[in-house]
Amino acid sequence: MKHKIALVGFGTVGQGLCEILDKKREYLLSRYSYDFDIVAVSDVRFGTSYHIEGLHIPTLLKDAHNGSFTQHLQTWDAEAMIREAEASVVCELAFTDLQTGQPAISHCIAAMETGKHVVTSNKGPAALAYAEMKALADKKNVQFLIEGTVMSGTPVLNLAQSTLAGATISAAKGILNGTTNYILSQMEEGMSYADALAMAQDLGYAEADPAGDVEGYDARAKVTILANVVMGMNLKLSDVKCKGITEITTKDIQEAKSSGARWKLIGTVKNENGHISAEVSPEMVPMTHPLAGIMGATNALTFSTDLMGDITIVGAGAGKIETGFSILTDLLTL
Ligand SMILES: NC(=O)c1ccc[n+]([C@@H]2O[C@H](COP(=O)([O-])OP(=O)(O)OC[C@H]3O[C@@H](n4cnc5c(N)ncnc54)[C@H](OP(=O)(O)O)[C@@H]3O)[C@@H](O)[C@H]2O)c1
């Protein structure tokens, strides 16, 4: 059977996924019997392309580089494409809006209502409407898969839900935002907060408006997803207390260093005998803790379990190929 994939959004992640799929087509077929066509792509910038027998991936990538699609053009917007295209799965890879979750929530609903699985790295639907998305997926007998929403392709959700199945997870605690960890690492080298932020922006880690990262909102969305998906809670973003790194000074960082600790922006969710707490906040982590050694843009997460004690996973939290990989893993799960 050939999987028919439709993509909404053809930016960093969409293109990363297509590069992987094009390069690994033979491997995916021989190793996993996974055969596919990219049948549709819709992006506000490049237009919409659709062909039931599949689009030519190198042409899509070349067209994106040149600024607009050229093959099998359609007048559909993303939602019309989702409803009309004959596809088995929609990959929602458009921008994240943590206020409303839109238009991604509407995209996911349209896909599932028309019997298509959803795979997404977009935090909006997962952080704001996970229960609703999951209920619709169950009702329509499709899947809503979101590995890329927390730590990109580093498999934290799959680890918790599949590999650790049977163990009770009582806490998840981690460095969930690479930009802030990079800034704090640079400040430890003596750079001011403003210079470290400017450098993170130059390297493409931080947006022109860095509030989502430095105020902790991105990490808060990930804590909410971990709480709801991994620990079976029903938290809203506003249930997670949130403080960013904007008040941390180089003096604070040096003082922590001399006392054998490091400041990290930590996201935590805990269930202590039914008492639930969830927050994002800068913490002085002792150098002996596994999270203290995580420097630069790397992410890490520790799950506390009843049967295995603490398990820490370290890896990329963003990136074109890394997040493209998260989508691939969900496609293979389907
Ligand atoms: N990049 C990462 O490392 C990473 C990691 C984890 C999660 N994510 C999440 O994955 C998603 C994709 O990220 P990305 O880095 O690929 O973003 P991106 O580079 O900004 O690409 C998103 C693309 O979607 C287009 N788009 C926006 N609204 C659309 C709509 N309504 N219909 C169709 N296309 C639309 C954008 O066009 P315009 O640019 O013209 O708006 C852009 O071309 C985001 O939700 C992001 O938060 C990304």
Q: Which two tokens stand for residue 185?
A: 């690492």
Whole-number Å distance, alpha carbon 12 to ligand 1 midpoint, is 7
For the CA atoms of the chain, what is the radius of gyration? 20
What is the spatial distance between Cα 275 and Cα 272, in angstroms, rounded to a whole number?
5
Lining ligand 1 with CB less than 6 A are 8-14, 42-45, 78, 93-96, 103, 121-123, 148, 152, 318-319, 323
Whole-number Å distance, alpha carbon 36 to ligand 1 midpoint, is 22
pLDDT for res 159: 97
Whole-number Å distance, alpha carbon 126 to ligand 1 midpoint, is 15
Using most ligand atoms within 8 A of CB, pick from 121, 151, 322 the residue to mutate for ligand 1: 121
Nearest residue (CA) to ligand 1, atom 8: 121
Nearest residue (CA) to ligand 1, atom 31: 103
Using most ligand atoms within 8 A of CB, pick from 7, 10, 12 the residue to mutate for ligand 1: 12
What are the helix (H) ranges across the chain? Answer: 12-23, 25-32, 57-66, 78-84, 104-113, 123-140, 156-158, 178-188, 193-202, 211-214, 217-225, 250-258, 320-333
Domains in the chain: ranges and CATH: 2-153+320-333 (3.40.50.720), 158-315 (3.30.360.10)
Whole-number Å distance, alpha carbon 322 to ligand 1 midpoint, is 15
pLDDT for res 256: 95
pLDDT for res 206: 84
Q: Which of 116, 173, 222, 264 is catalytic?
A: 222
23 is catalytic: no
Nearest residue (CA) to ligand 1, atom 25: 9
Residues ≥6 apart with Cβ < 8 Å to 318: 152, 178, 205, 297
Whole-number Å distance, alpha carbon 92 to ligand 1 midpoint, is 9
What is the spatial distance between Cα 201 and Cα 230, in angstroms, rounded to a whole number?
32
What would the DSSP string read from start to end of 35-74?
A: EEEEEEEEETTTEEEE-TT---HHHHHHHHHHTS--SSEE
Nearest residue (CA) to ligand 1, atom 19: 11
Mean pLDDT by 10 residues, the chain (334 residues): 96 97 98 98 98 98 98 98 98 96 98 98 97 98 98 97 96 97 95 94 87 97 97 96 96 94 98 95 95 96 97 95 97 97
Q: Are 243 and 281 in contact (CB under 8 A)?
A: yes
Nearest residue (CA) to ligand 1, atom 15: 12
What is the spatial distance between Cα 302 and Cα 200, in angstroms, rounded to a whole number?
25
